[in-house]
C-alpha cells in the first residue's frame, strides 16, 4: 500500500512539470486552445505511456538507470530554476528596459523589410499555431514528455510491486493520466461546460493582456521555484 501511495505522490509531483506549465500557458493564449491542447495531450500520451511501458517491462537495472541519465538531472533543475528566478527578478524590476527597446527596434526593422519584400511577417511555427494546427503541439507533446526523475522512480516502484501485466499497464496509464491533469481539466471543461470554460479562458487572456509583464515575471518565478524544489527533492 505504501508503494502505491508513493506512486500516486510521484504522479502529483510529475504533474507540476515546468515545461508543461509553460506549454499550457502559451496554448491558452493562442487561438483554438482546445485543438492545441488536445494535440499536445495526444503526443504526451504517446510518449509517456509507450516509453513507460517499455521501461517497466523490458529496461530494468542498469538500462533503466542509463535512460535516466538522458533526463534533466536534479542539479540541472536547480540551475535552470535559479536562472528562471533571475529572469523573474529582471522582469519585475524593469532592468531589461533598454535591452527590450533595442530588440524592439531591430524587430520592427526586420518586419518592415519583410513587408516591403512581400514576405510573411510571422514565423512559420507561430503561423501554424495561430491556425490552431494540433500537429505542431502533438510534436511538442511527444518531444517534451519523456520520463523524468519522478516518473522513473514510480516505474521502479511498479516493477518492484510486480502486480501482474494488466495491473502494471493500468498503473502506468493512471500515472500518465494524473501527470497531464493540467491539460485534461480544461479539455473536460470544454466538453461539459464549453461556454463557461470559454469565458474563463477569455478572462485569462484579458488578464494577461492587462498584466502581461507581471504575469511573465510571476510565471518565471513559479517555474523557477518548482524546478528548485523538484531538484532538491530528487537530490534528497
Contacts 24+ apart (CB under 8 A), 230-236: 230/13, 230/16, 230/74, 230/77, 230/149, 230/150, 231/74, 231/75, 231/76, 231/77, 231/78, 231/81, 232/74, 232/78, 233/13, 233/74, 234/74, 234/77, 234/149, 234/150, 235/74, 235/75
Task: Identify which of 67, 65, 58, 77 has the alpha carbon closest to the alpha carbon of residue 18.
Answer: 77
> In sequence order, which ranges of 94-164 are alpha helices (DSSP H)?
97-117, 124-130, 134-144, 149-161
**Secondary structure (3-state) at 26:** helix
200-215 in b/e burial notation, b at 16+ Cβ within 10 A? ebeeeeeebeeeeeeb
Q: The whole model's pTM is what? A: 0.60
Per-residue pLDDT of the chain (236 residues; tens, 9 = 90+): 567 888 888 888 788 777 777 778 778 777 778 888 999 999 999 999 999 999 888 865 444 444 444 444 677 678 777 877 887 787 677 665 665 566 666 766 766 676 676 665 555 544 554 556 778 889 888 888 888 878 888 888 888 888 888 999 999 999 999 999 989 988 999 888 888 888 888 787 676 666 666 766 776 787 778 778 877 877 76
How buried is 230 (Cβ within 10 angstroms: 0-12 exposed, 13-18 middle, 19+ buried)? buried
Amino acid at each position: 500500500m505504501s508503494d502505491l501511495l508513493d506512486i500516486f505522490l510521484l504522479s502529483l509531483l510529475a504533474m507540476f512539470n515546468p515545461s508543461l506549465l509553460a506549454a499550457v500557458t502559451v496554448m491558452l493564449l493562442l487561438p483554438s486552445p482546445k485543438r492545441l491542447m488536445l494535440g499536445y495531450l495526444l503526443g504526451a500520451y504517446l510518449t509517456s505511456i509507450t516509453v513507460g511501458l517499455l521501461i517497466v517491462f523490458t529496461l530494468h537495472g542498469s538500462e533503466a538507470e542509463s535512460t535516466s541519465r538522458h533526463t534533466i538531472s536534479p542539479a540541472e533543475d536547480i540551475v535552470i530554476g535559479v536562472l528562471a528566478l533571475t529572469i523573474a527578478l529582471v522582469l519585475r524590476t524593469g532592468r531589461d528596459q533598454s535591452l527590450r527597446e533595442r530588440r524592439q527596434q531591430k524587430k520592427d526593422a526586420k518586419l518592415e523589410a519583410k513587408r516591403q519584400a512581400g514576405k510573411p511577417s510571422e514565423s512559420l511555427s507561430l503561423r501554424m499555431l495561430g491556425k490552431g494546427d494540433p500537429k505542431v503541439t502533438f510534436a511538442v507533446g511527444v518531444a517534451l514528455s519523456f520520463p523524468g526523475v519522478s516518473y522513473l522512480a514510480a516505474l521502479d516502484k511498479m516493477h518492484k510491486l510486480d502486480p501482474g501485466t494488466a495491473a502494471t499497464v493500468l498503473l502506468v496509464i493512471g500515472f500518465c493520466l494524473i501527470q497531464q491533469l493540467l491539460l485534461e481539466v480544461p479539455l473536460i471543461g470544454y466538453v461539459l461546460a464549453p461556454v463557461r470554460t470559454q469565458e474563463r479562458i477569455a478572462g485569462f487572456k484579458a488578464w494577461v493582456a492587462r498584466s502581461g509583464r507581471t504575469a511573465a515575471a510571476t510565471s518565471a518565478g513559479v517555474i523557477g521555484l518548482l524546478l528548485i524544489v523538484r531538484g532538491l527533492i530528487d537530490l534528497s
